[in-house]
Structure 1
Amino acid sequence: MSTPRSADALLQAYRPADDTEAADVARIREMIAAADDPWSREVPLHLTASAVIVDPASSRVLLRWHAKMGSWLQIGGHGDPGEVDPLAVVLREGEEETGLADLSPWPDAALRHVVVVPVPESPKEAAHEHADLRFVLATGTPGAARPEKPTAPLRWVAMPEAYELISEDNLRETLSRVEPLLS
């Protein structure tokens, strides 16, 4: 794997697709500069890393049911204490959530989408925001995917079905950036 890169280094090199994404990148970089630990859940806006997992051979994507959000989403989540490399975070999260041990950045390790996502209040935490850094990961063993728990089923789908299943506009945007890579 390549040399670990901090979120700020990735964001500094990243080129946002539009003004909305540029504003999110600027806001996230300001948060990183001000926070002792930008991955800490104690920060109201904190870093997360996620990815769309693809099977390049079939051009399908893997979606995971998120009960808390009540929707089909990509994999990913929070960094563990001491983690600073967003790609390492999403590779770990991807393996934990899917059981896929062969995940790798695809077609390269490029950051594909940056978005600030609101997270509603729950009995366990106040409403907050995720500064989500999104990648694409691939597997050569799609049949090996196994959910980490029964309440988080996984589903391999073709891109048209993925667009039908998801309800989040920000994930639709991510998929629109992944789709040309699968062509």
Structure 2
Amino acid sequence: MLSDALDRFRPVDATEAADVARLRDLLAGGGDAWSRSTPLHVTASALIVHSPSARVLLRWHARQEAWLQVGGHGDPGETDPLDIALREGVEETGLADLKPWPDPAEAAIVHVVIVPVRARGDEPAHEHADVRFVLSTSTPEAARPEKADAPLRWLTVGEALELVTEANLRETLRRITW
């Protein structure tokens, strides 16, 4: 499933091509590429857009102390990154109408990036092979934070580019074309 989606994806530069190659190696390794117990594992995320207002939704992530896209780890047995991004998007925003954008019939990976994750508590530093999508909503006013310390903000892409601190997320934002 993920391998097929990667076959249709075209990296935009050498860095992304190297990240895709590492992800392919992980998938070919025979283990559970989604397992949190491995130093590199797959995650899925998405930028949520409201195209009529040309805005994107960002979520505050307290652990990373940054405004980021929605997303995360697969639950046990989940291996479809789009399904994971959709589930995480609904859980983190309350938006029940999320669908792939710009074409709901053909969900496409928008960005693949290996992201370092700092150690925390008993969890060692590790890496996420993050597979990113863009999802849309027609009900932006329905967005509700999952918890009090994870507020949401609707922003123009320009505002989001100024707010985010992660270079890889800036790149994902630049790939949104209205």
Taking structure 1 as the reference length, what is the TM-score of the superposition?
0.94
Residue number among 49, 52, 55 corresponding to 1:54 in the alignment: 49
What's 2:102 paired with? 107
Instruction: Tell me, in whole angstroms, the C-alpha distance in 2 between the residues paired with 1:125 and 1:54.
Output: 32
Maintained 8 Å contact 1:35/1:43? no
Maintained 8 Å contact 1:64/1:155? yes
Runs of 4+ aligned structure 1 residues displaced above 4 Å come to none
Letter in 1 for 2:46: A
Unaligned runs of 5+ in 1: 1-5
Letter in 2 for 1:101: A
Residue number among 29, 34, 37 corresponding to 2:24 in the alignment: 29
Taking structure 2 as the reference length, what is the TM-score of the superposition?
0.96
Letter in 2 for 1:130: H
The C-alpha deviation readout for 1:107-160, integer Å capped at 9, x for no partner, is: 121110000000011114110000000000000000000000001000001111
Maintained 8 Å contact 1:98/1:148? yes
- Structure 1 SS opposite 2:42: strand
Letter in 2 for 1:53: I
Are 1:172 and 2:141 counterparts? no
Unaligned runs of 5+ in 2: none
- Structure 2 SS opposite 1:129: strand
After superposition, the CA RMSD in angstroms is: 0.8
Maintained 8 Å contact 1:54/1:136? yes
- Structure 1 SS opposite 2:97: coil
